[in-house]
Chain A
C-alpha cells in the first residue's frame, strides 16, 4: 500500500473522524477530535487492512497559542506510517490515555504530563520521573516558562 492509497483508504473508512492535514511533509497526517481518540486508535490498531499496532512516539507541541499532541504510528505487518494530531486550548488541557491500545504510551504520556502540564485521563501512574523529585518550577517545556536561573538565548 502506497502513501496515496493509505490516505485514500483512511479518508474513505474513517472520514467522519479523521481530516487530512497538509502540513505533514513525509507521511500522511490526519487531524482527530480529542473525544474520538481512543476509539479511533483502537480501530486503527485492530483494522486488518492497515493494522497500526506500533506506537512510535507521542509528542506534545506548544505553538504559543495552543497545545498540539501528535501521535506517530507505524504498522509492522503492513509497513505503513501514519501521523495523528489534535489541538486544544491552554486552559484545562486534558487528553485521554491511549495506553489501553498501546501499552508503550505510558511513559510518553507521563512525560507530557510532567513537562507540559497536560492532564492525562485514565493513566495508571502519573508521577514525576524526569525532573528532580523536589521540582517546583512549573512545566519547563512550555514556551512561556521561565525560571530565575534560566538563561534564554536571544531571539534573533
Chain B
C-alpha cells in the first residue's frame, strides 16, 4: 500500500501555552500529530539583566540575579557572590558557608518538587502538581523565616549571608526534611510504577551523551544520559567536599530517567542538609565587605550546580565599583538549544513530556 500524501503545517506553541512553562514559543512543523521540526523562538522575557548589572555596584547586582533564575534563586545569589569573592579575594566565614550549603540544597529540593508537579501536570495528572507544591511550602516557610521572602531571597551576599538563621530554624528544618522524605515515598508510589506514566516517559526523548555534551547540556539532564559529572563534586565550590553524598547517574537518557534522577537528587540533598545541620559551627556570618567595594581589575567565571545544570556567571572588573561586564549562563539555555536536535520525530504529546523533563524555565534562557 502506498503511503498517503500528507501536508505539513506549522503550529505555534506559545508564547502563552500551558506546557511551555512561561513564554517560550516553539514553532512546530507538524505532519499530522507528528512533530517534524522544532524551532524555538525566545526573547519574550529578555529583560536585559546583563546590561542593567553593568550599571549597578556589586551588591546591587544580587537582587537582579534573583530574578535571573527565580526558581532556585539561592544558587544565582551564590554564583554571583562567589564570583565577586574570587575577584576581590574575600574569605567567607565558616558558618556562612554552612548556611549557604543548607540554603542551596533546600532550594534544590524546592525546585525539584516544582519539577515533579509540573511534569506530572504536563502529562495530564493534576494531583501530583498540588502535592509537589504542598511540600514545597515547608521549605518556603524556612526561607521566609530566615530572609523574609518566599521566592526571591537576596540572602547570599558577597562575603557571607545577609542574616543569621533564627533559633527555631534547625528543628523546623529537620522536621521539614523528615516530612519530605516520607512524602517522597508517596510520590514514587503515585507515579513510578504507574503503567500509563511508564508508557508516557520510558524510551521517550532519548538524548545521547555525545549530543548532550556537544550542546553543553548539563545537570540532571546530562547525568540521566550517563555522564557522571556534577560541579559540586568535580569542581568543588563552597564546602561541598566535606560532605558524604553520591552523585546519582542513570544511563538511558529518556524522560523516565530524567524524572527518576531528580527524585534521587532530592534524597541526596536531604543527606547533605542533615550533615550540614549537624556540623553547623558558631561564628560570624559575613566577612567585612564595604558595600561599595572595588575589586581589582580582572575576570572570573564562576559556576555552581543548580537544579537545571551549570549556572555560571562571567564577571570582568575594571577596578571600579561596578562590573564592566556580567554574563550569565543558565542550564536551560543549552538544553533548549539541544531540544530541536533530539526532540523531533515524536508526537506532540511526547514533545510536551520532553520539554517538561528538560525542566526548562525561560528567564534563564532570555535573561
Contacts and interface: CB of A to CB of B under 8 A. Distances in A.
Q: Do the two chains touch directly in the complex (Cβ atoms below 8 Å apart)?
A: yes
Interface stretch (A5-13, A32-40, A56-64, A88-96): A56-64
B56 A57 contact: no
B194 interface: no
A53 B41 contact: no
Interface in B81-112: 86-87, 89
Interface of B is mostly: mixed
B303 interface: yes
Interface in B261-288: none
A70 B314 contact: yes
Contacts of A56: 216, 301, 303, 310, 312, 329
B300 A25 contact: yes
A130 B297 contact: no
Contacts of B347: none
Interface in A100-141: 102-104, 106-107, 129-132, 140-141
Interface string A50-92: 0001111101011100001010101010010101010000000
Contact of A104 (B55, B297, B334): B334
A61 B87 CA distance: 17
Interface stretch (B44-52, B123-131, B151-159): B44-52
A85 B215 CA distance: 21
Contact of A132 (B43, B303, B314, B318): B43
Contacts of A141: 50-51
A56 B69 CA distance: 17
Given A56-B216, A81-B235, A24 B56 contact: no
Contacts of A129: 41-43
Contacts of B46: 130-131
B229 interface: yes
A16 interface: no
Contacts of B338: 104
Contact of B87 (A25, A29, A68): A25
Nearest to B234: A79
B163 interface: no
Contacts of A85: 299
Given A55-B216, A59-B327, A106-B337, A152 B299 contact: no
A104 B216 contact: yes
Contacts of A63: 316, 318, 324
B32 interface: no
Contacts of B329: 56-57
Given A79-B235, A107-B333, A153-B56, A54 B213 contact: yes
Interface string B320-354: 00001101010001100110010000000000000
B327 A152 contact: no
Nearest to A62: B325
Contact of B43 (A55, A70, A104, A131): A131
B337 A104 contact: yes
A140 B51 contact: yes
Contacts of A102: 214-216
Contact of B301 (A68, A72, A106, A143): A72
B175 to A, nearest CB: 37
A2 interface: no
Nearest to B296: A25
A53 B312 CA distance: 17
Contact of B214 (A59, A68, A104): A104
Given A25-B299, A57-B329, A72 B334 contact: no
A103 B215 contact: yes
A54 B214 CA distance: 7
A132 B297 CA distance: 34
Given A107-B337, A152-B55, A76 B312 contact: no
Contacts of B41: 129
6 contacts: A25-B87, A26-B301, A27-B300, A70-B301, A72-B312, A130-B42
